[in-house]
Amino acid sequence: MDITMDGVAGPLTALQVMQDAAVIPVIVLTDVAHAVPLARALVAGGIRMLEVTLRTPQALACIEAIARDVPEAVVGAGTARSAADVQACAMAGARFIVSPGYTHAVGTACRDAHLPLLPGVATGSEIMAAQEDGYTELKFFPALQAGGLAMLKAWGGPFGDVKFCPTGGITAANAAEFLALANVACVGGSWLVPGDALARGDWARVSELARQAAGLPR
């Protein structure tokens, strides 16, 4: 059963992950106890595609907790850098994978696990390598440092069949500029989960930031 507008069951495609909302939150969690209430707060604000990054030892346990206890969310794993990462994320219940770069091994592991992948690219050669393996929905990372809006506009010509999720330096202040580009399907950003709100358990603030993000025009 495929994902629907009202549900999140079944296999996904990368394009569905990108098109569900204007922003995919980039989440770093150090306390498993925060995972479920954070996910519920984001979903309450209209954001259900959640990228939990593999940047802390607790990340896999957080992914598992969200997958188990927040079925209305679609939890994915970010910062996947190897086939072993992909396999561990699949076992934890991740339903999509985001990587900071692209390798054939990561792409193959995602196909084997039947998980959509948003591979990171920063150059034309990296885009072509991902395309050779069948990936046309890509993460542009680090977006600002790698050329930002100007680079995405330049890629619109030779890579007109590619959709991007720029991540890295995207904020509430500049997200709309990126979302206005024809080749941008969504953006990734950490501003939906401020560190101070996470530390205090201020889930109402997280929900409000999610509502604002979900309402961004595309």
What are the residue numbers of the active site?
Answer: 51, 139
Measuring CA to CA, how many Å separate 83 from each of 17, 20, 44, 107?
21, 26, 33, 8
Chain centre to alpha carbon of residue 154: 23
Asked whether the beta carbons of 169 and 140 are under 8 A apart, the reply is no
Residues 6 or more apart in contact with residue 186 via CB below 8 angstroms: 18, 19, 20, 21, 22, 23, 24, 165, 179, 218
Give the C-alpha separation, 7 to 105, whole Å.
31
Rg (C-alpha) for the chain, rounded Å, is 16
Say if residue 196 is exposed, middle or buried (CB neighbours under 10 Å; 0-12, 13-18, 19+): exposed
3-state SS class at 167: strand
Give the C-alpha separation, 207 to 44, whole Å.
6
Give the C-alpha separation, 188 to 139, whole Å.
8
Residue located via tokens 């990340």: 59
